[in-house]
Structure 1
Amino acid sequence: MTADLHTIAVRMHNYYRRLVATGWAKDKKIGYAPTAKNMLELKYVDCTPADTLAAETKTKVTGCPSTAPQASTGHSLNYYYVNRYDIPREQLLHEAITKWANQVAEIGVGKDNIFDPNGGVTNYANMVHDQVTKIACAVEVCTRSGNSAVACQYNA
């Protein structure tokens, strides 16, 4: 990913995490999602040979699979797939992160803020998990198939 895409990924994730931390994230069930007391700022993974998460994330979107791939061991993954290829990669990344973050506004988590794997807010939960400190994202535009894919992996 380019430096611009790294910046978009980190800034957008941290923006939505700040909304949750301060109690301003809209929640369909209760108005605003509960605040987070220990929300950490995300950083992009180190792109060094020792940290392979960025390279692993890139392989997740190669060929634009229509179904979400499995997360790398010890990580969580958000995946976004669209039947379009004619939009900039920056816009695709923006759309994906916005869609994931909006799960809380569209479905809600409620006042107890207990994660339910069948609750429809898994992508949101991955984004705002309080133990996550690093992310790696990848964006792929597959002009031959007319599709595009975005994946972000989190270190928790």
Structure 2
Amino acid sequence: MSKKTELMHWDCAMEEMAEAAAKDCPTTPAQPTIPGGNDKFGLVFESTNVKGKECNPVTKTDTLIKTWWKEGAKKQEDQKRVQDNDKFAQMAYSESSGLGCTYQTCGRQLYVLCLYGQDAVTKVNAQGDLYPATQQESELCNQCGNNAAGQLQCADALCNPPYTPSNVYKKKLKLALPVNRFRLRRLLATGWAKDKKIKYAKPASKMNALVYDKDLEDAAFTYVTANQNDCPTKQEKDIGENFWSGTYTLTEEEAMKEIAHDETKKIGCAAKSCPPQGITVVDCRYDPAITDSDTIYTAGKMPCKPCPSGTTCSKLGGLCEAPATP
């Protein structure tokens, strides 16, 4: 048991940095620096052989990360950091509250890389404590601290103070938001998006890959920043747009239709924080926009069969993409 272990939050900016570090599957990936200082993010990675068409990278990645924890836990006798057990150390370090992971395929190799909010390898000496351990249930979470109302910031044995994303998140929101949508879109296209009725939604036979578009970003930015002081509280018009303003009011169908529309090819996003209103607005725009009479996507037995004319299946699978422009 731990007196203080932070709840781990998915950080979109860290996911983006992980993607940059994993590009081309390097044997020694660069360890990004935490913005505002000299400390590094924690980094773990692994490259493993796959069997081509038999491999689903999402499932394989999920299994691999769970294996890091299970196999690492077997080497631990207590809270002390064990030499050559760095994957577990990064996952168990009590001060890390942010996480971002990605995968790449390079030939027959699946390359998985994760970043953590703090680098346990440099923060904790060999045989140092990964977390403040206790044998007393009454001491569980007792170092988490209290919120403004004087309540202990703890849930399910983890400290849960408000999470502040990496500073780089604000600077690169226009990239981090679409990255998450690209991941969800590929998950849907390959048939691994969970569905309440049939467990998994059917694969999309011809879903286009999304490309980030500066014109759409500019249109969204112009709208959310039109008033110097206040943020807008509703979307501009019916133009293929997802709009969020602190309290999410879209139905699941409205939110999903733009992300899941197989003919959509472009996305552009902008965001603005308005402290006086107590809200942050996020505006993502898509092209072409889906209309009420459109089919969201064409289901099939396999993705990319067939891809629309002028496109081929991406190396990561699932999505149809146009050839890169020289």
Scaled by the length of structure 1, the TM-score of the pair is 0.64
After TM superposition, the structure 1 = structure 2 runs for residues 40-59 of structure 1, keeping only pairs within 5 Å, are 40-45=208-213, 47=214, 52-59=215-222
Q: Please name the residue that 1:117 is paired with.
A: none
- State the identity %: 33
Q: Please name the residue that 1:107 is paired with.
A: none
Cα root mean square deviation, aligned: 2.6
For 1:33 and 1:141, locate their aligned partners in 2 and report how far apart those are by CA, in whole Å. Answer: 35
How far the C-alpha of 1:2 sits from its partner, in A, is: 7.0
How far the C-alpha of 1:137 sits from its partner, in A, is: 0.4
> How far does the alpha carbon of each residue in 1:55-106 deviate from its partner, in whole angstroms, 9 at most, with x for none?
21113323322223214xxx400011116xxxxxxxxxxxx8xx98xx7xxx
For 1:26 and 1:129, locate their aligned partners in 2 and report how far apart those are by CA, in whole Å. Answer: 17
For 2:266 and 2:216, locate their aligned partners in 1 and report how far apart those are by CA, in whole Å. Answer: 10
Q: Please name the residue that 1:153 is paired with.
A: 285
Q: Provide structure 1 residue ranges, at least 5 long, that are not aligned to the other structure.
A: 84-95, 104-119
Q: Secondary structure at the match of 1:19?
A: helix
Contact conserved, 2:181 with 2:259, CA < 8 A, in 1? yes
How far the C-alpha of 1:151 sits from its partner, in A, is: 0.8
Aligned residue among 81, 86, 91 for 2:245: 81
Q: Provide structure 2 residue ranges, at least 5 long, that are not aligned to the other structure.
A: 1-168, 289-326
After TM superposition, the structure 1 = structure 2 runs for residues 71-110 of structure 1, keeping only pairs within 5 Å, are 71=238, 75-82=239-246
Q: 1:13 aligned to 2:181?
A: yes
Which amino acid counterpart does residue 11 of structure 1 have in structure 2?
V
Cα distance change, pair 60–133 in 1 and its aligned pair in 2 (3 A): same
Q: Please name the residue that 1:122 is paired with.
A: 254
Contact conserved, 2:174 with 2:270, CA < 8 A, in 1? no
> How far does the alpha carbon of each residue in 1:106-146 deviate from its partner, in whole angstroms, 9 at most, with x for none?
xxxxxxxxxxxxxx412111001111111010111001221
Q: Secondary structure at the match of 1:53?
A: helix
Q: Please name the residue that 1:136 is paired with.
A: 268
Q: Secondary structure at the match of 1:65?
A: coil
How far the C-alpha of 1:3 sits from its partner, in A, is: 6.5
Structure with more of its chain in helix, by fraction:
1
Which amino acid counterpart does residue 36 of structure 1 have in structure 2?
A
Which amino acid counterpart does residue 149 of structure 1 have in structure 2?
V
> How far does the alpha carbon of each residue in 1:16-50 deviate from its partner, in whole angstroms, 9 at most, with x for none?
011111111011222111211111211111x3xxx
Contact conserved, 2:177 with 2:269, CA < 8 A, in 1? yes
Q: Secondary structure at the match of 2:280?
A: strand
How far the C-alpha of 1:147 sits from its partner, in A, is: 1.2
Q: 1:4 aligned to 2:172?
A: yes
Q: Secondary structure at the match of 1:123?
A: helix
Which amino acid counterpart does residue 76 of structure 1 have in structure 2?
G
For 1:44 and 1:54, locate their aligned partners in 2 and report how far apart those are by CA, in whole Å. Answer: 8
Aligned residue among 58, 64, 69 for 2:236: 69
Aligned residue among 205, 217, 221 for 1:37: 205
Q: Secondary structure at the match of 1:11?
A: helix
Scaled by the length of structure 2, the TM-score of the pair is 0.32
Q: Please name the residue that 2:89 is paired with.
A: none
Contact conserved, 2:272 with 2:282, CA < 8 A, in 1? yes
For 1:2 and 1:144, locate their aligned partners in 2 and report how far apart those are by CA, in whole Å. Answer: 18
